Structure 1
Amino acid sequence: MDAKEARAPRLFDEVRRKLRVHHYSLRTERAYLGWIRRFILANGRRHPRTLGGREVEAFLSRLAVQGKVAASTQNQALSALLFLYREVLGVRLPWMEDVIRAKRPARLPVVLSQAEVRALLACMDGRTGLIAQLLYGTGLRLMEALRLRVKDVDFGRNEIVVRNGKGGRDRRTLLPASLAAPLQEEVDRARVLHQRDLAAGFGAVWLPHALARKYPGAPTEFGWQYVFPALRLSVDPHDGTIRRHHLDDATLSRAIRRARLLAGIDKPVSAHTLRHSFATHLLEAGYDIRTIQELLGHKDVATTQIYTHVLNRGGRGVLSPLDH
């Protein structure tokens, strides 16, 4: 192994450490490490300290011109390199501040009709079917639903508390009455699984922001357990502890893909499509856009207003002269 290769693992270890100090998600950690690795390989395995603005701009340009990546992908690569130089290498480079981020084109979200939603959900069952109903019935993001803790489901008030949502904000959303009973059954199954884990010497769930140190008994309390726990124990990549994580998001994605084909829906459908459909159908029902903004957890109402452009009757309720 030469000196260049010997330095790379230590650099990646430091990037990983810094990301975890700043409480970045595991998904972001993997993405940033991937972009930094590609950047180093694209420049002949040279250390980033020896590279500059010319190499960064060339790398980002190749992504756009040769790789034809989306603007969001190019911006993610730039964010990874900014983090590397600012937080890990401690290098304040003016040219990094001036790099222009690719402008994301305005896209209308894919929205299912109510009939298409019914057809999709009818082709799903079990836990994935319940989660899909939860996404459409509450407007939760996929990871917000999978990371839902038992203590944050209030059956008495028919509401769900979303902790540390996008932007680090908490919010409340409704709990559909039709989901109360099946969700309670899911909680009961999680309780049995948790008791089994405790008997086997496990049962401590992962807690964010050093809460485990502040409240030593919390990780084993049932209220902190996931509503949708994984079927198997696994090794936590953060600290190597064997614990039970939440259900893998890929499991739900595969179930939605199968249901879409069975339902004969030609539109591209993902878990986020159900969130889009939730907001659009509430607007169609006449609910106030500020209420919908609060349920979705949007910081700016302008983000919520995009759903006015996908209503069946048009953003302003305009009727075509051909239909008169």
Structure 2
Amino acid sequence: MALIKRGRFYHYEFQVNGIRFRGSTKQTTETKAKQVEVRKMHEAQENGYRPFPRKPPILRDFATTVLKAVDSSALDPDTKRYYRNGWSRIASTPLANMRLDWITTEAVEAIELSGSPSWQNQALRTLSMILSKAAGKHYLHERPKIKLLKEQRRERMIDDDDEKALLKVAEPTLKDVLVIIRDMGLRPDELFRMRWEHVHWEKRLYFNPYGKSSKARRWIPMSQRVVDVLKERLRKQSLPRAASRRKVVKLPSSPEWVFPSKRAGSGHLTTVAKQFREARCLAELPESLKLYGGRHAFGTYAVEATGNVFAVADAMGHEDLKTTRIYQHPELDTIREAIDQRNNRRVM
């Protein structure tokens, strides 16, 4: 048996039946670390651990294999892209060149990731997924615990005044995007992938078939304003267009995407970030205002008007009601009025 201090904590290392065991005791004093080491040895002797079938590879090599499997799987394209982006951040850290069995909770906490908490969590979730696969392949006895960062709540929403200011200066495509995201609560990526075949005109419903969970694939009501916007877009897409300078009329094929794009490889628009930044600047609105604030506004207004958190959660594709609360802004007018009434009674 041996105890080695790395950083703040002592690490144990011992062998049972020719199998080597090592890890962090999570203790800063040698006495307590020794107690943890003894307990770990008893557990290994009583329960036993499966020996590693072969020498564990380094994380970079194993991640390449895992991500190839992810790409060829039936996972949602957004999930595949999420893991790809997450790995690109882990790949630039010292962890990428470490052997799988040397990656501990402390080693993960020691790496420095840039960006917002949500951006860093993307990398940490990707790492957690890869290490879980490693444990399944018996390269690890167990996946080390990875603590995610606390993500900030989205406080700013696109309210009626913001929308009015933006619509005055926005380009036509952005105007349609703003109306749809505020009236339907779609996520931006869901909005850009809208297909005409999923629009049900008679019932004024739209079916979103995308998402990582069953709740994400859902029916969403369309306001009359959204119906008008969509009908106008469909009308313009269905108009004959000139194919050359000779004014030869070319009949349009059946439109597929609500927001088509010839430049995008996907065939549809993927972002209006530049348009939104320009409109926000012209409208003299703060940089804290994001396009996602339109979805935030939908959740806020829908809950205030209906009081039905369950229905709103379904419309927004939330599995957990706690998530829906992020999009709520408490209505404080009633509280203010109650205090004013109390004060008025005192004066009388």
Fold agreement, TM-score > 0.5: yes
Q: Residue 136 of structure 1: SS of its match in structure 2?
A: helix
Distance in 2 (alpha carbons) for counterparts of 1:60 and 1:246? 39
Alignment partner of 1:53 is 2:120: no
Which of the numbers 111, 115, 118 marks the counterpart of 1:62? 111
Query: How far off its partner does 1:289 sit?
Result: 2.5
- Would you say the 8 A contact 2:83–2:126 is kept in 1? no
With over 3 angstroms needed to count, the CA separation of the structure-2 counterparts of 1:311 and 1:144, relative to structure 1, is same
Deviations 1:13-49 (A, max 9, x none): 533321121525353143133034223xx25x73x54
Q: Which residue in the other structure is 2:88 paired with?
A: 34
Which is strand-richer, 1 or 2? 2
- Structure 1 window deviating more from structure 2 (86-95 vs 265-274): it is 86-95
Residue identity matched to 1:290: F
Q: Which residue in the other structure is 2:194 paired with?
A: 148
Distance in 2 (alpha carbons) for counterparts of 1:12 and 1:100? 17
- Would you say the 8 A contact 2:89–2:123 is kept in 1? yes
- Would you say the 8 A contact 1:15–1:88 is kept in 2? no
Matched residues, number: 269
Alignment partner of 1:167 is 2:213: yes
Distance in 2 (alpha carbons) for counterparts of 1:70 and 1:52? 27
Distance in 2 (alpha carbons) for counterparts of 1:103 and 1:94? 25
With over 3 angstroms needed to count, the CA separation of the structure-2 counterparts of 1:108 and 1:322, relative to structure 1, is farther
Query: How far off its partner does 1:233 sit?
Result: 5.9
Residue identity matched to 2:176: L
Alignment partner of 1:19 is 2:92: no
With over 3 angstroms needed to count, the CA separation of the structure-2 counterparts of 1:185 and 1:171, relative to structure 1, is same
- Structure 1 window deviating more from structure 2 (134-143 vs 288-297): it is 288-297
Alignment partner of 1:302 is 2:322: yes
Residue identity matched to 1:299: E
1:234-245, aligned counterparts within 5 Å? 234=265, 244-245=266-267
Q: Which residue in the other structure is 1:176 paired with?
A: 223
Q: Residue 269 of structure 1: SS of its match in structure 2?
A: coil
Alignment partner of 1:110 is 2:156: yes
With over 3 angstroms needed to count, the CA separation of the structure-2 counterparts of 1:171 and 1:189, relative to structure 1, is same
Structure 2 unmatched ranges of 5 or more: 1-57, 244-252, 344-348
Q: Residue 285 of structure 2: SS of its match in structure 1?
A: coil
Query: How far off its partner does 1:108 sit?
Result: 5.0
Query: How far off its partner does 1:191 sit?
Result: 5.3
Q: Residue 161 of structure 1: SS of its match in structure 2?
A: strand
With over 3 angstroms needed to count, the CA separation of the structure-2 counterparts of 1:121 and 1:285, relative to structure 1, is farther
- Structure 1 window deviating more from structure 2 (254-263 vs 271-280): it is 254-263
Residue identity matched to 2:195: R
1:203-214, aligned counterparts within 5 Å? none
Q: Which residue in the other structure is 2:335 paired with?
A: 318
- Would you say the 8 A contact 1:111–1:276 is kept in 2? yes
Which of the numbers 183, 187, 196 marks the counterpart of 1:137? 183
Q: Which residue in the other structure is 1:213 paired with?
A: none
Which of the numbers 262, 267, 277 marks the counterpart of 1:231? 262
Q: Which has the higher contact order (CA 8 A, sep 6+)?
A: 1
Distance in 2 (alpha carbons) for counterparts of 1:155 and 1:277? 24
Residue identity matched to 1:246: H
Structure 1 unmatched ranges of 5 or more: 1-6, 197-220, 235-243
Distance in 1 (alpha carbons) for counterparts of 2:314 and 2:268? 26
Residue identity matched to 2:81: R
Distance in 1 (alpha carbons) for counterparts of 2:152 and 2:254? 43
With over 3 angstroms needed to count, the CA separation of the structure-2 counterparts of 1:166 and 1:122, relative to structure 1, is farther
**Percentage of matched positions with identical amino acids:** 21
What is the CA RMSD across the aligned residues, in angstroms?
3.4
